[in-house]
């Protein structure tokens, strides 16, 4: 490889190595989540975004045409983008590719131009850019690239490491730009993800070859991983320290469509918070095994695909081995017991109409609430499982309407929804910036089919501003946020603008949060309880809420959402 130019083949290998290095570090990036909640997913989102581009690039074979490769990188990342950092990464790639696509060789000055365009494109994609994020790190890299090019640097062997070094300096300064990062003791996770991509790019420049098969076909390595898992268990029994201590195993009895993409996405998630992953599908069952430090997250994600059987969690650090859980007899018993089937999305074409609605929700109960209110299509997703731009575009295909309102119901999905709106040229997509489920429900209630689209946009956007909400979950690490001292295992209520309460039980956390949310104007309090909350606990909370707020109407509904015990709203 020349040190002064990079051709299309070399650029492809550098890109693939960047993707592989990001994927290798996604679990670490996930742990940089500011809030100590079990849904840190920046590393996973960025990895799934870039792997979508890897898939398109790999389909080109030995293509050496720069324009074709750039189109694959841009298109694949844009459609596969999920989460705010994933969308921004896709825009950075898109902008970079816009500059280099018409050149068969990249020089340092051209690379500097591409860095500038990447940053410009990404900033334009964000309505209110915030410094101290991946955008700031990208801008720092571009600034250094321009400085080096203007100074006459023409050697990529000098250019790339200096750009990376400066990007790391900027990354280290992100806590000074965002106080919440400093208080949590972390740098920006999206910025760290971008740095890992750049480091992988440099490895590719130095001659490393990416193992694309591991990225795209992890199931093909299941036997190797199973053998490795057995070796890990042997290590555990010998008293050696383990990185991930809980061997988590179960079988999913599928009750909805589960294709190769679903399996790849599920495996990517498992690998983001564990190792030695086995995820194999046969008939209508998926066998799962993973070593992790948070088995609850694994189980919750599995519940999204169907009924679980043969669940076994073993602490490899302190327990002796047990009998295998995947016996044929046990599988048969669980299969016979798993007779509750979740309602599938309607696949037949709907009657044509002027306006339709798509909403994002995690949990069968929440999905049913939205359908009952008149939502045409519910995308399964939310915290820990942000749908991609492609997922939203596919949902749009199922709604036969000229104008479609999209309710992301999560602040980390709004950018992907906006990106889908920009990419769909056949239907008009209007994104209502709902940041949580209660806002989404309020938006639907205020949709009036007889009004035109713009009037509905204004009404729905205005009404969601009057909703106060919070979510109750548990802390996965010790930290200090919003001046609240938090310890692993504490119950927290996280409101629209930060931590509302930290206490020893989920019901206490909910009550403390409501005491700060409810005021004299509040008329309705809604409680949506999740899949890990019993009806008994929720009834106890309902009684306490009714007693403390006698002037409010109190509703209790099953949401079925993972991760969050309660979603609460006050209106």
pLDDT value of residue 227: 53
Q: Is 383 left (phi over 0), alpha (psi -120 to 50) or beta?
A: beta
Q: Taking the CB of residue 515, how many other CB atoms lie within 10 A of it?
A: 12
**261 by DSSP, 3-state: which?**
helix
What's the mean pLDDT in 373-396? 88
Rounded to two decimals, the pTM is: 0.74
Per-residue pLDDT of 397-420, as tens digits, reads: 999 999 999 999 999 999 999 999
Per the listing, tokens 């070094």 go with 165
pLDDT value of residue 107: 97
What's the mean pLDDT in 204-221? 79
pLDDT value of residue 346: 44
Per the listing, tokens 């003791």 go with 185
527 bridge partner residues = 556, 568
What's the mean pLDDT in 106-115? 97
Buried b / exposed e over 241-271, threshold 16 CB at 10 Å, is ebebbbbbbbbbbbbeebeeebbbbbbbbbb
12 bridge partner residues = none
Q: Tell me what percent of the residues of the chain surpass a pLDDT of 70.
A: 87
Residue 319 has pLDDT above 50, yes or no: no
What's the mean pLDDT in 209-237? 61
**Range of 208-222, 231-245, 266-280, 367-381 with top mean pLDDT:** 367-381
Question: CA 408, CA 437: separation in Å to the nearest integer?
Answer: 9
Question: CA 246, CA 334: separation in Å to the nearest integer?
Answer: 22
Q: Nearest CA to 71 among 102, 27, 40, 25?
A: 102
Q: Nearest CA to 267 among 287, 282, 240?
A: 287
Q: CA torsion 45→47→50→52, rounded to 10°? A: -80
Please report the beta strands in 427-539, taking only residues with DSSP state E, as ranges in sequence order.
428-431, 468-474, 479-481, 484-486, 491-495, 498-503, 524-529
H/E stretch holding 556: strand 553-558
Q: Taking the CB of residue 87, how many other CB atoms lie within 10 A of it?
A: 30
Question: CA 89, CA 342: separation in Å to the nearest integer?
Answer: 35
Average pLDDT, the chain: 85
Question: CA 475, CA 466: separation in Å to the nearest integer?
Answer: 28
pLDDT value of residue 242: 61
Q: Nearest CA to 495 among 478, 476, 475, 509?
A: 509
Q: Taking the CB of residue 314, how many other CB atoms lie within 10 A of it?
A: 20
Give the pair of three-digit tokens for residue 310. Answer: 């043969």
What's the mean pLDDT in 268-272? 81
pLDDT value of residue 309: 75
511 within 8 A of 544, measured Cβ to Cβ: yes
Per-residue pLDDT of 361-383, as tens digits, reads: 988 899 999 999 999 999 987 76
Q: Is 563 left (phi over 0), alpha (psi -120 to 50) or beta?
A: left
Give the pair of three-digit tokens for residue 2. Answer: 């020349």
Please, is 177 exposed, middle or buried when counting C-beta atoms within 10 Å of its C-beta (0-12, 13-18, 19+)? middle
72 within 8 A of 59, measured Cβ to Cβ: yes
Residue 133 has pLDDT above 90, yes or no: yes
pLDDT value of residue 461: 96
H helical segments located in 81-127: 83-100, 108-125
Per-residue pLDDT of 422-433, as tens digits, reads: 998 889 999 999
H/E stretch holding 306: strand 306-315
Pairing of strands 468-474, 491-495: antiparallel
Which domains occur in the chain, in start order?
A: 6-215 (1.25.40.340), 217-337 (no CATH), 353-466 (3.40.50.510), 468-570 (3.30.1180.10)
Residue 457 has pLDDT above 80, yes or no: yes
pLDDT value of residue 28: 84
pLDDT tier at 214, thresholds 50, 70, 90: confident
Please, is 219 exposed, middle or buried when counting C-beta atoms within 10 Å of its C-beta (0-12, 13-18, 19+)? middle
Question: CA 413, CA 461: separation in Å to the nearest integer?
Answer: 16
């Amino acid at each position: 490889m020349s040190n002064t130019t990079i051709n299309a083949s070399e650029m492809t290998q550098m890109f693939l190595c960047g993707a592989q290095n990001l994927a290798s570090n996604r679990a670490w990036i996930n742990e940089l989540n500011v809030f100590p909640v079990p849904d840190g997913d920046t590393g996973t989102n960025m990895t799934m975004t870039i792997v979508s581009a890897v898939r398109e690039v790999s389909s080109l074979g030995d293509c050496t045409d720069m324009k074709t490769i750039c189109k694959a990188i841009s298109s694949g990342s844009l459609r596969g983008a999920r989460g705010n950092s994933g969308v921004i990464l896709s825009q950075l790639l898109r902008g970079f590719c816009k500059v280099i696509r018409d050149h068969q060789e990249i020089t340092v000055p051209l690379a500097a131009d591409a860095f500038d365009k990447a940053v410009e494109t990404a900033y334009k994609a964000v309505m209110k850019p915030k410094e101290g994020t991946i955008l700031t790190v990208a801008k720092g890299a571009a600034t250094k690239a321009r400085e080096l090019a203007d100074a006459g640097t023409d050697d990529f062997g000098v250019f790339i490491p200096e750009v990376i070094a400066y990007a790391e300096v900027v990354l280290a300064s992100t806590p000074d730009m965002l106080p919440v990062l400093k208080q949590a003791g972390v740098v920006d996770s999206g910025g760290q993800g971008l740095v890992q991509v750049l480091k992988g790019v440099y490895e590719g420049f130095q001659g490393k070859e990416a193992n694309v098969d591991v990225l795209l076909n992890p199931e093909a390595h299941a036997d190797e991983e199973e053998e490795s898992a057995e070796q890990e268990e042997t290590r555990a029994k010998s008293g050696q320290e383990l990185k991930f201590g809980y061997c988590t195993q179960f079988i999913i009895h599928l009750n909805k469509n589960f294709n190769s993409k679903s399996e790849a996405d599920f495996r990517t998630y498992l690998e983001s918070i564990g190792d030695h992953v086995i995820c194999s599908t046969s008939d209508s069952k998926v066998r799962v095994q993973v070593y992790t430090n948070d088995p609850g997250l694994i189980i919750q994600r599995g519940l999204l695909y169907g009924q679980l059987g043969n669940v076994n969690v073993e602490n490899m650090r302190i327990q002796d081995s047990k009998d295998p859980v995947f016996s044929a007899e046990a599988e048969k018993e669980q299969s016979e017991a798993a007779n509750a089937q979740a309602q599938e999305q309607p696949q037949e074409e709907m009657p044509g109409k002027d306006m339709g609605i798509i909403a994002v929700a995690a949990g069968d109960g929440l999905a049913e609430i939205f359908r009952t209110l008149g939502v045409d299509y519910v995308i399964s997703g939310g915290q820990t499982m942000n749908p991609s731009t492609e997922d939203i575009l596919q949902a749009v295909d199922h709604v036969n309407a000229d104008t479609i309102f999209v309710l992301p119901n999560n602040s980390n999905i709004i950018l992907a929804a906006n990106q889908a709106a920009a990419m769909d040229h056949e239907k008009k997509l209007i994104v209502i910036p709902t940041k949580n489920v209660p806002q989404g429900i309020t938006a639907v209630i205020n949709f009036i089919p007889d009004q035109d689209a713009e009037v509905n946009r204004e009404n729905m956007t205005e009404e969601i501003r009057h909703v106060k909400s919070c979510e109750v979950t548990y802390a996965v690490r010790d930290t200090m946020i919003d001046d609240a001292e938090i310890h692993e295992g504490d119950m927290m209520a996280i409101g629209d603008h930060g931590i509302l309460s930290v206490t020893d039980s989920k019901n206490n956390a909910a009550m403390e949060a409501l005491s700060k949310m409810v005021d004299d104007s509040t008329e309705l309090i809604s409680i949506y309880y999740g899949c890990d909350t019993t009806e008994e606990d929720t009834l106890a909370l309902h009684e306490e809420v009714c007693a403390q707020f006698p002037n409010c109407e109190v509703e209790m509904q099953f949401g079925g959402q993972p991760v969050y015990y309660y979603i609460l709203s006050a209106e």
